[in-house]
């Protein structure tokens, strides 16, 4: 299974369309917030399932702040990250991942792409497709999921 992961699109439709084109064929898309309207646009125009959560800039939406999604034997925690203060360090999100007993944590909010592993949990921030920071280009993540593994990569576009 090939999964796309977007975050922090912030209504930048051109960037959103470029990211989707760059991703190519995907089986599922996670949108990690800050403009759930963008996730709803994808859901309504593409023929792929979209799982999305609300971010700190999603003021008038009823989407959840997090989701737990199972793919085969893998358990994935999906959140924007602002509730765990990820701009100031990863301790909060690491503890939440441990508490939830997940294999993967997907988060955004910092607009900076990162992949790391801690306590056997894979943590992935795809960066920002709409408003990148720290000199990064616009980015997204791809997860290659098999029965035995999840292999993440960050892609520039």
Tell me the C-alpha to C-alpha distance, in Å, between residue 133 and each of 110, 124, 139, 152, 157: 8, 16, 10, 21, 14
pLDDT tens string 69-96: 999 899 999 999 999 999 999 999 999 9
Q: CA-based angle 56:65:11, to the nearest 5?
A: 45
Would you kindly state where each structural domain of the chain is located, as residue ranges?
2-156
Q: Which CATH architecture has domain 2-156?
A: 4-Layer Sandwich (3.60)
Matching residue, tokens 């795809």: 126
DSSP state letter for 7 = -
Please list the pLDDT of the chain residue by residue as tens digits (157 residues): 999 999 999 999 999 999 999 999 999 999 999 999 999 999 999 989 999 999 999 988 899 999 999 998 999 999 999 999 999 999 999 999 999 999 999 999 999 999 999 999 999 999 999 999 988 899 999 999 988 899 999 999 9
> Looking at residue 14, what DSSP letter applies?
H
Q: How far apart are CA 49 and CA 149, in angstroms?
A: 21
Best CA proximity match to 87, nearest among 140, 38, 34: 34
Task: Name 5's bridge partners.
Answer: 30, 141
């Amino acid at each position: 299974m090939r999964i796309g992961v977007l975050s922090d699109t912030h209504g930048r439709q051109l960037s959103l369309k470029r990211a989707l084109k760059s991703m190519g064929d995907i089986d599922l898309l996670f949108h990690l917030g800050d403009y759930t309207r963008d996730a709803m646009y994808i859901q309504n125009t593409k023929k792929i399932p979209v799982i999305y959560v609300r971010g700190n800039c999603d003021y008038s939406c009823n989407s959840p702040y997090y989701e737990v999604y199972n793919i085969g034997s893998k358990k994935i925690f999906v959140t924007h990250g602002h509730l765990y203060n990820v701009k100031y360090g990863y301790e909060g999100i690491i503890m939440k991942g441990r508490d939830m007993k997940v294999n993967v944590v997907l988060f955004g909010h910092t607009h900076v792409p990162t992949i790391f592993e801690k306590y056997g949990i894979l943590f992935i921030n795809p960066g920002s497709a709409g408003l990148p920071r720290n000199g990064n280009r616009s980015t997204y993540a791809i997860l290659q999921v098999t029965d035995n593994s999840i292999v993440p990569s960050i892609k520039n576009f």
